[in-house]
Amino acid sequence: MNGEAILPYLIIIPLFGAFSMPIVSLIGRKAREAWAVIISGATLAVASALFYSVWEDRGIIVYTLGAKSPLGQGVSFPIRIVWEVDLFGAIMVLMVALVSFLAVVYSLGYMKHDTGLDKYYTLIIVLELGMLGIAITGDLFNFYVFLEIMSIASYALVAFRNDTWEGIEAGIKYMFVGSIASSFILLGIALLYGQYGTLTMSYLAVKLAQNPTVTAKVALALFIAGLLFKSGASPVHMWLADAHPAAPSSISAMLSGLVIKVGGVYALARLLFSIYSPLAYKALRAYGYPYINMNTVGWAIIIFACLTLIIGNAMAVIQTDMKRLLAYSSVGQIGYILLGLGIGLAAYGSHTGEVALAGAIYHTFNHALMKALLFLIAGVVIHELGTRDLNELSGLAKTMPKTTFAFLIGAAAIIGMPPLNGFASKWLIYESSAIFNPILGAIAIIGTAFCTAAYVRVLYTFFGRPSERVMKAKDPEASMLWPIIILAVAIVIMGLFPWQISEKVMLPAAKALEDQLAYISAVLGGA
């Protein structure tokens, strides 16, 4: 299939859906819900086709907005907005579309008793749109626009249940922190634009390799600071533990599963590998030209990653609120992904670095499925029992067997038990970190020990002696149960073919991310 022809529909369909939602809402409630499902389903179809096309060709799709070619008339540099999708971006696109679709289906049952649902469905589609845009864009300012679309939609969705203080407090906190992070990123973009006079990522990479200035280093620091904020890395994870539990559970699933990855880790990886490049660093250093030391940057990220994975997982152990536990666990898992990314950067060019990067990409996808599953289950529990306090949920296995079984699968996967998908990705990260530096490997294992303790505690509660409150509960209706079943089945199936997926998809994606020259020449045409 021609990937280039279908790429714009990835943006057009959700945009059309979001704009037409108020008009469709006039017809009635059923029409609105059907419309949301149709739009996110169509987006998922386009995303799957795009992923397949990129995966099959192993190429990079470049799409220019407003003209045939990104280059200006009579000049040899790009002046237009380009979208550029390599295999890494395509994996993110597929992940976003899949989890968003399931979250929308889940919302049909979960949000039934809420009001203001036309806004809810508009915002959820806008949130999906922002993330898809970040994953496909090849233009730095376009990236910022999509980042803001995503962030503002998520601020509003966190505060959607505005009849409780919790939602409003979390929403305001998230908005303040997110705005600070966004302004860091905007300042970084402004500095780069002022220095090099271009916003196209691939051309910027060329300019940066030719003349790596102090301004570029300052901009890099701002990008890393802003994006670590957005991804919830450890010293600045405090907003995440408030925002993710306060949102409706379908939104928590998207925030924890997608937003912190696409708006944080993916963007960071894209900036570090495709603009500031370890490849250029190695080459410039070898020939004695000025360079930006990406090795140091990699180590900086590794340090933040170690902090994140210890603190996040350890904080998860002591939580009594189920959703808060899951949110802290997300912080911990982001630590693993950042660890893979940092090692990929510091050990660039070696096989270890490539494996670490593949592990990070793999874990990003796996964690999106697992954490979406766990948050959807937490939503079911809240829906049935009206509480998420673990002390009151004892013995849930008796009355909600299907839900508990799905939770068991999700928890086992996130700990990294062998027949499930989390095992392979965590193994790649452990393996590469142990080879790169045994201390890092040990830290990663300690993080997993904490993670295991946290989830065993939840499972112990679920399988414990039934409390009175739990006896009335039952498994949820079909629209809430099916997304959970689909995610659980996906986790099991991905767990059955771990090394095939790693060989066929994740390693090529890591190679595509590392291959900066291909990323540049796809736009500049080898010029």
Contact footprint for another protein (CB under 8 A): 8, 11-12, 15-16, 18-23, 25-26, 63-68, 118
Let me know how long the chain is.
Answer: 527
DSSP line for 11-43: HHHHHHHHHHHHHHHTT-HHHHHHHHHHHHHHH
Asked if residues 265 and 345 have their Cβ atoms less than 8 Å apart, the reply is: no
CA dist., res. 122 & res. 412, Å (int): 34
Q: Identify which of residues 17 and 264 has a Cβ nearer to another protein in the complex.
A: 17
Q: Which of 181, 356, 348 is nearest to 267 (CA)?
A: 181
The three-class DSSP label of residue 431 is helix
Q: Identify which of residues 15 and 221 has a Cβ nearer to another protein in the complex.
A: 15
**At closest approach, how far in Å is the CB of 133 from another protein?**
12
- 125, amino acid identity: I
**Based on the number of CB atoms within 10 Å of its own CB, is 463 exposed (0-12), middle (13-18) or buried (19 or more)?**
middle
Asked if residues 323 and 388 have their Cβ atoms less than 8 Å apart, the reply is: yes
Q: Identify which of residues 42 and 453 has a Cβ nearer to another protein in the complex.
A: 42
**At closest approach, how far in Å is the CB of 258 from another protein?**
23
CA dist., res. 271 & res. 276, Å (int): 6
**At closest approach, how far in Å is the CB of 14 from another protein?**
11
Q: Identify which of residues 50 and 490 has a Cβ nearer to another protein in the complex.
A: 50
**At closest approach, how far in Å is the CB of 62 from another protein?**
11
Question: 214-231 and 294-317 are packed helices; what angle lies between their axes, rounded to 10 degrees?
Answer: 20
Q: Identify which of residues 73 and 468 has a Cβ nearer to another protein in the complex.
A: 73
Q: Identify which of residues 47 and 280 has a Cβ nearer to another protein in the complex.
A: 47
- 307, amino acid identity: L
For 381: left if phi > 0, alpha if psi spans -120 to 50, otherwise beta; the answer is: alpha
Q: Identify which of residues 16 and 463 has a Cβ nearer to another protein in the complex.
A: 16
CA dist., res. 445 & res. 392, Å (int): 31
**At closest approach, how far in Å is the CB of 351 from another protein?**
40
**At closest approach, how far in Å is the CB of 117 from another protein?**
13
**At closest approach, how far in Å is the CB of 128 from another protein?**
16
**At closest approach, how far in Å is the CB of 89 from another protein?**
17
Q: Identify which of residues 10 and 507 has a Cβ nearer to another protein in the complex.
A: 10
